[in-house]
Amino acid sequence: MIQMRLTLRYPGFTLDVDLQLPGRGVTALYGHSGSGKTTCLRCIAGLERADHAFIQVNDDVWQDSENKVFVAPHKRALGYVFQEASLFPHLSVLANLEFGLKRIPKPQRQVDMAHATELLGISHLLDRHPQHLSGGERQRVGIARALLTSPKLLLMDEPLAALDAQRKSEILPYLQRLHDELDIPVLYVSHSQDEVARLADHIVLLSNGKALASGPIGQTLARLDLPLAMGDDAGVVIEGRVSAYDADYQLLSLQLPDTTLIIRVPHTPLDVGQALRCKVQARDVSLSLHGAGQSSILNRLPVTVVSEMNADNAAHVLIRLDAAGTPLLARITRYSRDQLNVHPGQQLWAQIKAVAVLA
């Protein structure tokens, strides 16, 4: 468990948060620029000293203002990954990694060199210098160096913000491997909802220095009372398990949690039973009174209407749906809402194009 109570005042800005976060998995601090995300991370790292604070990571108390406890930044068992990798330019990749490794006595090392380099896919880069690496490669080296300090907590401050779309797509699978293979809690700062949906288990929504919401990613993204539902990239995260694979059409069948409902997704082969996370955008969900009929839309799920809210566009409404326990969002026109007479408790069919599912 990560406990964090912070009050920090600057001229014109106050950070005031009180959070209890999971002690494992990835927690995303999400919000617009200036919401306090990076300041939170810097307080946890000890780089900023909050006016009043209590910070505890599992069994370690790093700051307790009431009892005058403040652990120096270099004594906190954490790794910090910034937007820029900040590698030593005069050292090879291997020497940069050894710098992180040498900070930790051998008996306390939880991550070894071979594991870190294989996990981040940088084993073939060890002899190179940073100026001969791409932006994505430099960032992967920076993450590996942070891991080699065997941290009890990994802080990542928008690690993909400085990368173009191609480099982001290259590095995201490696971040997913960290999530799947390492038992190190991660606090991940981002203003990209798609990034957060792909990586996070838990999300904290920050605005103007305060936490508007904190909770599991699937339930929190589906809340209509939060600004998350208003953006063009609004949607929900579904974590299912592979039930079949059609090699001819390269389509996975993904079984939704605790139900027999299936959605089909274009994807490379995966083993039956393997977990897979996908995002369904609200704008890609249409509604129908009937589930039958030929259509190019492969996914039709029986759903119950839960609630409705006006969207940021006056012509649109947002509908929260329940698919046998899995929340969905649909963004439709007010005209369509009225034609279908959409109302809470109504039984409908949600239609989702397979090519629109982000897996």
Write the CATH number for 55: 3.40.50.300
Note whether 165 and 63 are same-domain residues. yes
Q: List Cβ neighbours of 314 (8 Å cut-off, separation of 6 or more).
A: none
Last residue of one domain, picked from the residues 206, 229, 252: 229
Note whether 261 and 319 are same-domain residues. yes
Domain limits for position 192: 2-229
Note whether 222 and 84 are same-domain residues. yes
Q: What are the backbone dihedrals phi and psi of residue 140, each rounded to the nearest 5 degrees, phi first?
A: -65, -35
Q: For residue 45, what pLDDT is reported?
A: 92
CATH label of the domain that carries residue 289 = 2.40.50.100
Q: From residue 114, how far is each of 81, 94, 109, 121 by CA, in Å?
A: 20, 11, 13, 10
Q: How many CB atoms lie within 10 A of CB 89?
A: 9
Two tokens, residue 60: 């370690």
Q: For residue 358, what pLDDT is reported?
A: 81
> What is the four-CA torsion angle of 266, 267, 268, 269, rounded to 10 degrees?
-90
Q: For residue 162, what pLDDT is reported?
A: 78
Note whether 55 and 150 are same-domain residues. yes
Q: For residue 228, what pLDDT is reported?
A: 81
Note whether 276 and 192 are same-domain residues. no
Q: Look at the chain and report how many structural domains it folds into.
A: 2
β pairing state of 78-81 and 153-157: parallel
| Rounded CA separation 170/66 (Å) | 45
Query: Cβ-count burial of 114 within 10 angstroms (0-12 exposed, 13-18 middle, 19+ buried)?
Result: exposed
pLDDT, tens digit, for every residue of 105-164? 777 778 888 888 998 999 999 999 999 988 888 999 999 999 888 888 999 999 888 788
Q: For residue 192, what pLDDT is reported?
A: 84
Q: From residue 183, how far is each of 51, 111, 153, 340 by CA, in Å?
A: 32, 11, 10, 47
Note whether 96 and 194 are same-domain residues. yes
Q: How many CB atoms lie within 10 A of CB 88?
A: 12
> What is the four-CA torsion angle of 217, 115, 359, 246, rounded to 10 degrees?
-140
Note whether 276 and 210 are same-domain residues. no
Q: List Cβ neighbours of 294 (8 Å cut-off, separation of 6 or more).
A: none
pLDDT, tens digit, for every residue of 236-254? 999 899 999 999 999 999 9
Last residue of one domain, picked from the residues 163, 196, 229: 229
Note whether 262 and 279 are same-domain residues. yes
pLDDT < 70: residue spans in the chain: none
Note whether 162 and 55 are same-domain residues. yes
Note whether 194 and 267 are same-domain residues. no
* CA-based nearest residue to 218, from 238, 192, 232: 238
Amino acid letter, residue 123: S
Note whether 207 and 290 are same-domain residues. no
Q: For residue 86, what pLDDT is reported?
A: 84
Note whether 202 and 251 are same-domain residues. no
Helix residue ranges per DSSP H, the chain: 37-45, 93-101, 113-119, 135-147, 165-181, 193-199, 217-221, 334-340
Q: For residue 357, what pLDDT is reported?
A: 86
Last residue of one domain, picked from the residues 168, 200, 229: 229
